[in-house]
Structure 1
């Protein structure tokens, strides 16, 4: 339809709706552009010719996967993220197997009441045992006014396979609930970080700029740092999904490497958050410019460490490395290629190599990653 005709004949509200739908239609089948999937957000991203991206952070602060348009889910693939989204359906079935029983008479579903074996159907008033599904008074003995039901061996053998499946379902359900709770805790923490960033952008960065005599654009490093903190938490959140599915591999070496990287990542993020928490002092008081400059350098440095570490941590998980030695070898080659020019000009005194008879590796003080002793004294994980 001709846009001029719409402007001529349509009401103002219809014109606005048409303009919005017309703009969105441009991105429907355009592989070079995507609309932000956030509800109510009208921003879009266009990729320059010859370039590819895997994820993008919109102006609304939502970071999404460019392929599946879900929240960015590195270090797991789109397929694993979809499996996690569908896991609720499977675990609902496990919950039903563990906590529901069908009445042997009328087939009505009844929820199990804790450890009590005695169940009563409210529909037909049938009393039965939740373990063997036999009539409650079929076998047992009275003790005063209380009847104790005893499951017969024949019935237990009949339901043995069902009981075994139920035990497996219970184990899977418990593991899923633990992971889901952990996932939601990190997700809540991540959204709190983004909420804090929004508060900073709306008011507090202006106060900081006035107190330090800066242009508002010169405080953009604070936005970058808070986005990096949220990114660290997002990687941890989806790493928990990787941890949930990694048990299928039953690979102890891969598990050990994952645990080591998780511990080191927590160390990096804790140091970044500690320095970032000092921002409140500069917003609330008139601190000297030299002190603020020192804070800015330390904050940007810790943010750079976190950015490099979590990027390499995602690569290690995605490629399925199983031991620290193989990971160090790959990262060492990447570090030599990606090292900044300024780092190449650093004197040899800052990158001396210890002799092999002293120790086989050295620990980076910034990210606690164990580096090979034969490598240059720049950490292959955080590049510092």
Structure 2
């Protein structure tokens, strides 16, 4: 596992002065830790992948016990250095936001001023006679001296009044951490020892929790995990790059804005998008686009069906024409009948309704555009939640069954969990690409086209992984494979198809006539499933990593190829080609992130060397898919990853992949 960064002192932890020298590179998705124990930790998502360029995490997850130990260490240090009781050190640190350096600076500059400000007097401001009985200044009852209590100031009150005063303050919230003497003229601080001696266990626990939370909330570089019920905090290395962090509760979020992890979009875009999803402005836009105001009372009215005769609701009850908004009393045969309005047509030609119609059309267009992005954003969110539920079921039920059925250790089955973790991560990334497209690409048509291509490829690759991880896993969980009966004799294949026997139907293959039977999956089938699912997980992860980098860089591929387009080619088409693969000194990279160096033996990086590599691959029967650039080793005609036919060609105008049997693009009718 990666090493954890621990700061040198808790003071630095609160001051936020610890920084990293280099910004790191942060991968999307979860990788397999090969050093994990085979039986332990296999089900946990590898949430520690947010690392710096040196392979170290840029954050540390702290439990409440970790925080309590750090807090106690700071209190002891201040108590020892300043030679003061622990309760005074705690009050001082809380006042200075738990920064030891700030406290030392103020204390050694003017100790008396600090004591006066915080309410830590060295001696009581009032002394009572050595009487056996005293009167409480709150309830005015007389008590024995041992039942009276005072803060450092010396103002005595009875135990009951003190308890009520402290309990009420604790119930009011974290302000109890700055509790002062009940005497209105006194500002003496009340110690935690005194609080613990006078209140119930429940109140003591609540006070201790407020004190613990203040230690985190006062720090510039620590935050509580926002997941409901989570008690972990994140200690972050400021200036170290990505804000993506993962808590031990499995919740991943952005440390900067505490929303869920949202790469590739920035925090301000996330804030605007979430506000838009809940804002009243969208209701106003919908009303403007789909309704018209009553000419009399101005109440918005939506027309769903029927004729143009509209009647406003009580108490208005005004009857008017939907088209021209004129009184219905002025309508009839002379205005074109009940289903038309020549007044409206005439006024429209004269430009009377131009402004209103334009505003309505713009509002409708804006609403439709927002609905397009929001519906897909929400779909991927729901799909992510569904995948998370299935992953939980997989971890608690199915993995145990698969382990028993196929004699596999739980660690050996981690590839299934990794695939579903990758699906969840990809759903999250894909979800936020819609917010990216809505805000950042509205006025850039070229980048918009390129973005839609990349997004479409991402959706296609993710769906392929999702379907395979779901449907192809079910036979192994159920213990049943659907297959053709190999024992079916040739004489039994004379099945009637559309009234014809096999011999009468030339399009009927013998294999198609064999009945479907249930067959128990073999270990060889499971190993083949493992290999393909692992490959799909890898290529999908790499594609999404490349997609995130491209979007974070502002789709610079479009700008970089804009000046060198061929006549008739759009910038978007050229950018697509640049994205799908580049020739020359660098290796051709797969759009799924798999390069030929990773799939074939490495050769010297020379033109002659690459020719030799291609010749060797052709001699071995392997070929590179034109669609995803995966180097296939087995299938002679169908790509193992994307299922495209061998030799398909991409249209230069629309990038659609066509079969080799045609020279005309099936999408845009452009010639090859």
Q: TM-score range by the shorter chain?
A: 0.7 to 0.9
Q: 2:321 and 2:553 mapped to 1: Cα distance?
A: 50
SS at match of 1:348: coil
Q: Using structure 2 for the length normalisation, give the TM-score.
A: 0.46
CA shift, 1:19, in A, is 4.9
Given the alignment of the two structures, is residue 38 of structure 1 paired with residue 239 of structure 2, yes or no?
Answer: no
CA shift, 1:134, in A, is 2.1
Answer whether contact 1:305 1:367 (CA < 8 A) is retained: no
Answer whether contact 1:65 1:71 (CA < 8 A) is retained: yes
CA shift, 1:247, in A, is 4.6
Distance 1:146 1:169, change over 3 A: closer
Q: Show the counterpart of 2:383.
A: 189
Q: Show the counterpart of 2:328.
A: 136
Distance 1:289 1:147, change over 3 A: closer
SS at match of 1:300: helix
SS at match of 1:45: strand
Given the alignment of the two structures, is residue 364 of structure 1 paired with residue 629 of structure 2, yes or no?
Answer: yes
Q: 2:204 and 2:477 mapped to 1: Cα distance?
A: 45
Unaligned 5+ runs, structure 2: 1-176, 178-190, 480-519, 559-574, 615-624, 631-640, 644-672
Deviation per residue, 1:134-188 (Å, 9 max, x gap):
2122354369x96965435458733321111111111111222222222222211
Q: 1:304 aligns with which of 538, 542, 553?
A: 538
CA shift, 1:26, in A, is 3.3
Unaligned 5+ runs, structure 1: 369-384
Q: Show the counterpart of 2:452.
A: 259
Q: Bigger CA drift: 225-234 or 61-70?
A: 61-70
Which protein is richer in helix relative to its size?
1
CA shift, 1:214, in A, is 5.3
Q: 1:109 aligns with which of 280, 293, 300?
A: 300
Q: 2:552 and 2:390 mapped to 1: Cα distance?
A: 30
Q: Bigger CA drift: 119-128 or 278-287?
A: 278-287
Given the alignment of the two structures, is residue 94 of structure 1 paired with residue 328 of structure 2, yes or no?
Answer: no
Given the alignment of the two structures, is residue 118 of structure 1 paired with residue 309 of structure 2, yes or no?
Answer: yes
Distance 1:31 1:100, change over 3 A: same
Distance 1:27 1:325, change over 3 A: farther
Aligned residues: 361
Given the alignment of the two structures, is residue 207 of structure 1 paired with residue 401 of structure 2, yes or no?
Answer: yes
Distance 1:101 1:7, change over 3 A: farther
RMSD of the TM alignment (CA)? Answer: 4.2
SS at match of 1:64: strand
Q: Using structure 1 for the length normalisation, give the TM-score.
A: 0.76
Distance 1:113 1:284, change over 3 A: closer
CA shift, 1:343, in A, is 5.7
Q: Show the counterpart of 1:70.
A: 259
Q: 2:371 aligns with which of 148, 155, 177?
A: 177
Q: 1:283 and 1:18 mapped to 2: Cα distance?
A: 51
Distance 1:147 1:306, change over 3 A: closer
SS at match of 2:610: coil
Q: Show the counterpart of 1:347.
A: 602
Answer whether contact 1:140 1:148 (CA < 8 A) is retained: no
CA shift, 1:298, in A, is 3.7
Q: Show the counterpart of 1:151.
A: 343
Q: Show the counterpart of 1:376.
A: none
Q: 2:217 aligns with which of 28, 47, 52?
A: 28
Q: Show the counterpart of 1:380.
A: none
Q: 2:329 and 2:397 mapped to 1: Cα distance?
A: 71
Q: Show the counterpart of 1:229.
A: 423
